[in-house]
Chains A and B, each alone.
Chain A
Amino acid sequence: MKVELLKLAHARSGDKGDTANIGLIALKEDYYPILVREVTAEKVKEHFGKIVKGDVERFELPNLASLNFLLHESLGGGGTLSLMTDAQGKTFSTALLRMEVEISDQEAENIKTS
């Protein structure tokens, strides 16, 4: 079944020039393997579509049950060059949490009971 990432993770995002970063943190340690399996760089790139003009990179931090994503060329030039409301990428975190991921029935059951 499909579930919104919001049910599995929290997140914070920020900027470095024209690159947005999103730290995606599993709500419970058990959910981390689902994030690793489902939230790949390719899927994040696809989710954001035309918002991200460059590549998406992913880094794993198992010690924090977290993933870090770099979304290159996604802030309209970045810094003071950008005309965007969210020139610093502060709301990219919640934009990622909209993404739907596929989980097994067993995983769904665990999420419901935990």
Chain B
Amino acid sequence: MKEKVRVAGGQGFWGDMLTAPIDQVRKGPIDYLMLDYLAEVTMSIMQKQRSRRPEAGYARDFISLMHEILPDCVENDIKVLSNAGGVNVEGCAVEIRKVAKELGLGGQVKIGMITGDDIMLRLDDFLNDGVEINNMDTGEPLSAIRDKVQSANVYLGAEPLVDALGRGAQILVGGRLTDTGLTLAPLMHEFGWTFDNWDQVATGTIAGHIIECGGQCSGGNCQYDWQTIPNLAEIGFPIIEAYPDGDFVVTKHENTGGRVNIQSVKEQLLYEMGDPHEYITPDVVADFTTINLAEDGENRVRVSGIKGKKNTEFYKVSISYSAGWKSVGTLVYSYPDAYEKAQAADKILRRRMKNLGLEFDLVLTEYVGVNSTHGHLSGEPPKDIPEVQLRIGVRGPNKDDVTRFTKEIAPLILTGPPAVTGFAGGRPKVEEIIAYFPALIPKNLIMTKVEILEA
């Protein structure tokens, strides 16, 4: 058994810093690299891409990254765990195999494919079999939105990843794998931890929670002493240095920017937190009120004492569905009377939309520079405020009305209050709204599959 295992976080979302995972592999020693590519909205985007092109539907960024780092990974025996497979895990895996061969690494790379999360094609069977799938927030049944569903995926845990690692996989891809499982699996595999030792499973899960948002735990978006955080331009992404007894250290490579300290780790621990006593994943129910933090040298925080409870009998399902259309338009008004001008323009625009008979579920006006983040808590702006951005958004079920709205922004420049600019981007774009229907489904209905592809 290894004395310690280093798991590096390389990507906090699809669109995160492209250089971060490369730096993780090259700027110091690591054993595992975990990459989270999926937000809720990502699955529906990928589903749409795949409906147009059957070979698409996964994070292409991951393939470019493999081109760059696969030789390093082979040379240094670094394993990569990722949910880049989106809604086409096999397509993604086949593409990685191609990359490996192109790089002359044929015969040296095993790719682990984890599937079974995509239940889009099984939804009607579930409904016909009387399986209850209800919105866990509102209680609404799936049948209410069935015809608008665009994707449906179960959040899978670490077990299939541990299986794939045990079968020698070096590059692991799946679809809707939980981000915490991508960190937990290597620890389970290396230390021989078992899925009924809930404290250990909770420990690996919380380690995952800490690094799953990339730089957000190593100095990025950190409020504590933010002005003194060094060299964010070259921020080092976080690394978990884990030990078999269950303690781990959060750190980053030497000679990188950013900062890991108790405060930066606390901020990340509380990010997107619900009830801290019950942080529920497919693997465990972790208790955040048991976490002990201690400084362990520069840019090192030791985490210990974590407790967990038995996991639940359900998987969470994320179902995305089409829920209408929206658009947001902006214009900038300057001194003098910048705020008054923006308010006058808003009134004129609303009157014109009414005259046109446009109907929306919601029209929202915000004034950037005045109230777009803290609302009324910001108080009244100064009389001589130098500039204000009018930001007006609409949403509704009727695409034509939303499209018509986008044609009413530019005319305000020559037909509304004076000294206005900021329209160079042209008409605002019309976007389809993808809403979410979170539900639970009994675990025994889901069959996960692990396959190994030899490059």
Nearest opposing residue in chain A for B438, CB measure:
A17
CA distance A93 to B434 in the complex (A): 26
Min CB gap A70→B, angstroms: 7
Nearest opposing residue in chain B for A88, CB measure:
B272
Min CB gap A90→B, angstroms: 8
Which of B291, B376, B433 is close to A63, meaning CB atoms less than 8 Å apart?
B291
1/0 contact trace for B421-439 toward A, CB 8 Å? 0000000000101111010
Collect the chain B residues with CB atoms within 8 Å of residue A93's CB: 223
Find the residue from A16, A47, A60, A61 having the highest chain B CB count within 10 A: A61
Which of A12, A64, A76, A98 is close to B377, meaning CB atoms less than 8 Å apart?
A98
Collect the chain A residues with CB atoms within 8 Å of residue B372's CB: 84-86
Min CB gap A54→B, angstroms: 11
Collect the chain A residues with CB atoms within 8 Å of residue B276's CB: 59, 61, 68
Which of B291, B368, B431 is close to A64, meaning CB atoms less than 8 Å apart?
B291
B274 A21 Cβ-Cβ under 8 A: yes
B289 A83 Cβ-Cβ under 8 A: no
Which of B263, B377, B436 is close to A95, meaning CB atoms less than 8 Å apart?
B377
Min CB gap A80→B, angstroms: 5
Min CB gap B442→A, angstroms: 23
Indicate if B375 sits at the interface (CB-CB under 8 A): yes
B40 A21 Cβ-Cβ under 8 A: no
Indicate if A11 sits at the interface (CB-CB under 8 A): yes
A95 B373 Cβ-Cβ under 8 A: yes
Listed stretches B168-176, B244-252, B342-350, B391-399; interface member = B391-399
Collect the chain A residues with CB atoms within 8 Å of residue B358's CB: none
Indicate if B62 sits at the interface (CB-CB under 8 A): no
Collect the chain A residues with CB atoms within 8 Å of residue B270's CB: 12, 21, 23, 25, 61, 64, 66, 68
Which of A25, A50, A86 is close to B266, meaning CB atoms less than 8 Å apart?
A25
Grouping DSSP codes into helix (H, G, I), strand (E, B) and loop, the A interface class, with mixed when no group exceeds half, is mixed
1/0 contact trace for A1-27 toward B, CB 8 Å? 000000000111011110001010101
Collect the chain A residues with CB atoms within 8 Å of residue B277's CB: 59
Contact A17-B267, Cβ < 8 Å, known A59-B276, A85-B366, A85-B372: no
Indicate if A111 sits at the interface (CB-CB under 8 A): no
Interface size on A, residues (CB 8 A): 39
Indicate if B326 sits at the interface (CB-CB under 8 A): yes
B328 A79 Cβ-Cβ under 8 A: no
Indicate if B144 sits at the interface (CB-CB under 8 A): no
Collect the chain A residues with CB atoms within 8 Å of residue B40's CB: 79
Indicate if A103 sits at the interface (CB-CB under 8 A): no
Contact A10-B293, Cβ < 8 Å, known A23-B273, A68-B276: no
The A69-101 residues at the B interface (CB cut-off 8 A) are 70, 76, 79-81, 83-86, 90-91, 93-95, 98
Min CB gap B328→A, angstroms: 6
Contact A76-B373, Cβ < 8 Å, known A10-B223, A16-B274, A83-B328: no
User: Can you sample 12 A-B contacts with CB below 8 Å?
Assistant: A17-B438, A21-B273, A25-B267, A25-B270, A47-B377, A61-B270, A62-B289, A80-B326, A81-B395, A85-B391, A86-B373, A94-B374
